[in-house]
Amino acid sequence: MLIVQKYGGTSVGSIERIKAVAERVVNTKKAGHDVVVVVSAMAGETDKLISLAKEISDMPPEREMDLLLSSGERISAALMAIAINKLGQKAKSFTGRQVGIITDTSHTKARIERISAESVREALQEGIIPVIAGFQGITETSEVTTLGRGGSDLTAVAVAAALNADLCEIYTDVEGVFTTDPGIVPNARKLEKISYEEMLELASLGAKVLQTRSVEFAMKYDVPLVVRSSFSDKPGTLVVKEDRDMERVLVSGVAYDKNQVKITIMSVPDRPGIAARLFKEVADANIVVDMIVQNISIDGKFADISFTVPKADKDKAVEITEKVSEALGAKGVSVDENIAKVSIVGVGMKTHSGVAAKMFETLAKEGINIMMISTSEIKVSCVIDSKYTELAVRVLHDAFELGS
């Protein structure tokens, strides 16, 4: 098999950890597999570099941030290659450029446009273990770019796709994907297998095991993923195409996200095009709106529009909304920071009805008010008062019998 192994920051967080990972890599090689390694920066390194830059400027140019931050992964790639060589296997480090990872020019959150991996293929043919610095690429004009938080996951998946690898293993400090946060629900169960679609919902809903874009990429190119721990030998969670087994499971997991705020624009005259105008301006500011609800007032002439955005974008979003509110003659803008989104996810929902109803019922039984609802084929999300987050997660986990 050709296996791409990606090791996250805590997995390479110290010299001891790097040596331990090198042994795992060498053992995989000795078991007869071809291995490609992708590494993140050593834990804490990226934050240290960011804080150095912030000491100098609160708005450092993004181009410079990319050169700065890409160094962390280069350091761990070199150290890992040294560690593997020390164990008697040939290994060679590769930068994003040397792999041929070409991105667009959006510094700090570049998107991969293509990837040649020719040099990596050649190294494999010579029996060498390639060790790739994750998180980075270059533009057509040879500028250094980075792929955003968690970007090393994307590097691993993209390289696996380019090499047509049999498996892409994502090593982290948890043992896999759980039915929910074990910190909240002690009997949360590790999932053996999950579909890309479910993983995507779980990742974007705040279960921070895998970067969202890396899952999209894996799904698009059909790269089988395994999420597992580099601190143990347990098997982890397989992320693959949906299959028959999965459809029998109604709900795979319960996710939550406390990182959003709700903004409401009150008593807007209810005319066509109002919502369009508001959300166009928000989108132009590069703010991603998650959920939207519109309530028509009793006399049918005025509407309240509520929507949620990431906490980091709160100030910008409020500013825009206030400007629109004034222009439209609305009553004003209110902000609610004490909200949380709780979601149930499962491909089985497609073919089973009553899942949403059961969710609402379960929350109602506990006296938890639902402020907003959104649904997709494989997910139902409810925005609730954030103080009920843990309670909601626990009762939903129980109601859908997810525990072990």
Per residue in 271-284, is it b (16+ CB within 10 Å) or e — as a string? eeebbeebbebbee
Pairing of strands 292-296, 253-257: unpaired
Q: Using alpha carbons, select from 186, 182, 228 the residue that is nearest to residue 207.
A: 182
**Minimum CB separation from a second copy for residue 137, in Å?**
14
Q: Which residue has the tokens 């109002």?
A: 274
CB of 130 to a second copy, least distance (A): 12
Provide the minimum distance between the beta carbon of 124 and a second copy in the complex, in angstroms, as a whole number. Answer: 17
Nearer to a second copy, 57 or 351 (CB): 57
Would you tell me which residues interact with a second copy (CB under 8 A)? 15, 18-19, 49, 52-53, 55-57, 60-61, 63-65, 67-68, 70-71, 74-75, 77-79, 81-83, 85-86, 92-93, 95, 97-98, 142, 144
**Measured from the CB of residue 123, what is the shortest distance to a second copy in angstroms?**
12
Answer yes or no: are the C-beta atoms of 101 and 137 closer than 8 Å.
Answer: yes
Q: Is 185 left (phi over 0), alpha (psi -120 to 50) or beta?
A: beta
Looking at the Cβ atoms of 138 and 202, the one nearer to a second copy is: 138
Q: Using CA atoms, how far apart are residues 383 and 261, in angstroms rounded to an integer?
A: 10
Residue 66 vs 153, nearer CB to a second copy: 66
Q: Rank residues 68 and 266 by Cβ distance to a second copy and give the closer one.
A: 68
Q: Report the nearest approach of a second copy to the CB of residue 209 (Å).
A: 28
- Name the residue among 196, 195, 190 with its Cα closest to residue 177: 190
Nearer to a second copy, 19 or 258 (CB): 19
Q: Which is nearer to a second copy, 66 or 169 (CB)?
A: 66
Query: Contact, 130 vs 94, CB < 8 A?
Result: yes
**Minimum CB distance to a second copy, residue 166 (Å):** 27
Those residues whose C-beta lies under 8 Å from the C-beta of residue 327, and which sit 6 or more positions away, are none
